[in-house]
Each structure stands twice: as structure tokens, then as C-alpha cells.
Amino acid sequence: MVDITHKRTSLRWAIAEAIVRVSKPDTIQAIKDNRVPKGNVFEMAKTAGLLGVKKTPMLIPDCHPIPVEYSAVEYSMDGLDIRIRMEVKAIYRTGVEVEAMHGVSVVALTLYDMLKPIDKGVVIKHIRLLDKTGGKSDLRSKISSSVKTALIVCSDAILSGQKEDKITPLVRDFLKSYELDITKVIHIPDEELAIQDSLKQLKNHGMILMAGGTGLTPTDKTPEVVRPLLDREIPGIGETIRHYGDHRTPKSIMSRALGGMMGDSLLLALPGSTAGMQDALNALFPYLLTIVDKLNKAYE
């Protein structure tokens, strides 16, 4: 199965549709009058569909087991067509569209099976996804991406050449997936004046990412320097990073990452390790890009 451990849980919702066409009006009347020999067609098919949703990962090899928290079936009839709608909801790391489509297909097959004794011309016309929401892809399509982005790497070791800079390519590759690019990279020591001077150079950037200096050692000074420069701190940024990392990187609880608005710029002070930075980016994006999008439109 695809690795989804890096994803955050969110509300996932999907609606799928199937249409079953019978060959004669008498079949529709038999359903309405509850005269089908095999029993109540709609109730039996609904039950089968609900079971189908729950059994999806057992039959579709690459589907993850999902804690489905809501599923429902609705019917409507138009002439000889029976329209079936299956709605599924879950709070999880991956979507529920396959569950909805599998469930509605089981409903359609159950209708076919129950009606074939009285109608040999029953046909399943189509099975399709009508709509879905939730997850990163839903946000990604709504966000523009031309805002200027800068990266400040606070590390004496990287600055002196003693350590390879793995943060810059990591951040650059990650942002490319959102059609964002780093327009400026600055390497500085984790010192108050260096941080202040670098930030002064970036006033025209909509988003500023800082990597490093958010730990607990006496030399980690970034939060103390950054916090007074923020016009509006966003407490949820640091909380989200620590909560996300706590399930993946145990040392994340020691991070003092934070973020907020510095003038018209979104400023994020993030961990300096590659694992910590990866966790922070996965935790925050694309959700924070709603702020970036508003900044971007303000510049237009």
C-alpha cells in the first residue's frame, strides 16, 4: 500500500452514483408495491452497500483500512432508471472515494440480483464518483502560487562548510510540489544580530522560512529573537508541528518552533534537522497556504 504515514488526518467525504435500468414499468411497480420475490429490494441493497463500504480494503488490494464514520444510501426513480447515491465520511489520512464507489456498486449488483427473477433485461448503466472533499489535493487546487518565498538557514556548521546543507534542497523540492519556489536563500549563524539583519533583507517576501535554532540548547536563540519581531503570533503553528511530530519523531516535543505575521510576511521558525523540517512542512502545508494565497492576492 502507498505510504500515508506523513499525512495529517482530516475530514474526508465522497459521493458516488450508480444507475440501474430495468426493462419494463412492471418491475418498478413491483418494487414500489414490495412484491419482488426475494424481499424488500431497497432495504436489502442498502444493507449490502453499507457492508460493501466496510469491506472495501479486504477486496481492493491497495486500499487502506479506514475508520468509516458515516455512510448512507439514497434512491430515486426516473422512468425505468433507479438512481443510487452513496455518501461516505471519515476522519483519516486518505480519501473515501473508493469506499463510496465500491459501496454503490454493491448496491447496484444487489438490485440486479434481486430483480433478475422478474426482469431479465436489468442493466447497470454506470458507476461514477460525483464529488469528494478533504485532504491536500482539495486545498491545492484553490491556492495560487506566485508569492515570493525566502529561506534562512541558521547553522554555524553549514555556514563554515563543516556540514552539508540538506535543508535547502529538501525545502525547495517540497515547495515545488505546490508550484512555489525559493527566491532567496541566506545562510547565517544562530545569532541575534544575524537573524535580525537577514529578516530586514526580506521585507518584500510573502513567506519567510527559518530553519534551525529552535531547540533547547543555550545556543538555540531563534524563538527569542523572532517572537518580538512578530506583529501577530499564530500559536497553532508551533502546536501543530509538535503534535504532528510527536507521533513520528519523539524528540519533536523539544522543538520551540513558532510562526506568525511580520508585517505582510508569513514568518515560520522551523526545526533545523532534516527530519524535523520534513515533519514541520508536512504538518503545515498546504493549510498555511491559505494565508499565502491571501497575501499573494493582496500583491496583485
Instruction: Give the residue numbers annotated as catalytic, written as ranges.
Output: 113
Distance CA 184, CA 187 (A): 10
* Cross-strand pairs, 259: 268
C-alpha Rg value of the chain to the nearest Å: 27
* DSSP label at residue 86: E
Residue with cell 504515514: 5
156: CB partners within 8 A, 6+ apart: 189, 190
Distance CA 242, CA 32 (A): 56
Helices 235-246 and 274-284, axial angle in degrees (round to 10): 120
Q: Are strands 182-188 and 10-21 parallel, antiparallel or unpaired?
A: unpaired
Please provide the size of the chain in residues.
Answer: 300
All three cell numbers of 61: 488490494
Helix (H) or strand (E) holding 196: helix 192-200
Please answer whether residues 209 and 171 qualify as being in contact, where contact means their C-beta atoms are separated by less than 8 angstroms: yes
Q: Following DSSP, what letter does each residue of 165-193 receive, concatenated?
A: --HHHHHHHHHHTTT--EEEEEEE-S-HH
b/e per residue 151-164 (b: at least 16 CB within 10 A): bbbbbeebbeeeee
**Cα atoms in the 13 Å half-sphere on the side-chain side of 274:** 11
Distance CA 56, CA 37 (A): 29
